[in-house]
Amino acid sequence: MELAGYRFEPLVLALVAVAALSTVNLIGSQDRTRYELARHVVLDHTLTVEPGLFDRATFGGRSYSDNAPGMSALLIPVYEAERVAGVARAPRDWSSEGDLSLWLLRTLIAERQHHGFFGIGVPTLTGLRVVLVGNRGLLIFSPVTLAAVVGLWLMWRQRYRAEALVAGGLALGFLMLDGGYFLPYGGGSLGPRFLATALPFLALGLPFAFRRFSRTTLTLAVASAALMTADAATWGVRPFDDSAWVPGRNELAKTVWSWAGLNRIVGAGIVLVCALAAVAVGGISAARRRETAAVPT
């Protein structure tokens, strides 16, 4: 079930890390809430946040972040280091910024979330279409997931039935949940982000698909790496409803390589090369391991 040889796994992981973590996007309303929670923990030793923030819940007359706390926890040592160095951001009155847009978001989203189970209802064909083949659909930008689905079927046939059933059931369950949610992409995001939790389980089928359909699986993986790089490098800059396949130069987001003086095109090129290299190294390594296993000892 190995996709890459153990000797090459660190290299593959390093290339994936560079490709995935290089893009820099503008701060959003959710990021503000996470930042303010970290700041309050450091300065006030409390878990409260300002009432003017977007992603918050109220209890006992106080406001709290309703985001998952992981990112805020990671921000705590960063904010503390910034505070010690004297470069931490000063407290801001978020309630005075974007009042109209926040009011519209709260009104529209909160109303929809009152229906069903926190906004999740019966999956619809429209919802499933948006998740899978919408302008940021999973199959549009990550067609290799088709090979993963076929791989789970091959996994079942090779008597890994319990594993295939669990992986396929989880992937299908998250797909149904996302297809029944009133906001399938969860707002402005690279794609159906609520489905991301199921992707590692879906990916268990890739080794089986590669073993049976090597060229097709590798081709889909290369296409997915290129498409996801283009999506990641532009989604924070392009309009949400922009469905053009080729972005313009002004639609490229900054990358961490901008801090080294490189322009946006070069930065995006580095991300693309790393993504394609990760696929190439993984594919070559897997092919070599298969050839080695086929040689009689």
Confidence of residue 30 (pLDDT cuts 50, 70, 90): confident
Last residue of a domain, one of 56, 89, 113: 113
**Span of 13-27, 43-57, 76-90, 281-295 with lowest mean pLDDT:** 281-295
Domain encompassing residue 239: 9-26+122-294
Pairing of strands 62-65, 48-49: antiparallel
* Whether residues 274 and 201 fall in one domain: yes
| Number of domains, the chain | 2
Inform me whether the pLDDT recorded for 205 exceeds 90: yes
State residue 15 phi and psi, 5-degree precision: -65, -40
pLDDT value for 245:
58
* Whether residues 144 and 35 fall in one domain: no
Cα distances (Å, whole numbers) of residue 244 to 90, 135, 186, 228, 251 = 39, 9, 21, 14, 11
Confidence of residue 170 (pLDDT cuts 50, 70, 90): very high
Inform me whether the pLDDT recorded for 91 exceeds 90: no
Inform me whether the pLDDT recorded for 97 exceeds 60: no
Q: Is residue 3 part of a domain?
A: no
**Look-up of token digits 């940021």:** 136
* Whether residues 76 and 132 fall in one domain: no
Confidence of residue 142 (pLDDT cuts 50, 70, 90): very high
Decide: 127 and 177 in contact? Cβ < 8 Å.
Answer: no
Q: Is residue 155 part of a domain?
A: yes
Last residue of a domain, one of 79, 113, 147: 113
Inform me whether the pLDDT recorded for 85 exceeds 60: yes
* Whether residues 133 and 219 fall in one domain: yes
Q: Is residue 2 part of a domain?
A: no
Decide: 135 and 241 in contact? Cβ < 8 Å.
Answer: yes
Decide: 267 and 22 in contact? Cβ < 8 Å.
Answer: yes
Q: Is residue 226 part of a domain?
A: yes
Last residue of a domain, one of 113, 147, 182: 113
Give 237-259 pLDDT, tens digit per residue: 776 666 665 666 677 888 888 88
> Which residue has better confidence, 190 or 130?
130
What value, to the nearest 5°, has the Cα angle with vertex 205 and ends 194 and 169?
Answer: 50
Closest CA to 221 of 147, 132, 171, 136: 147
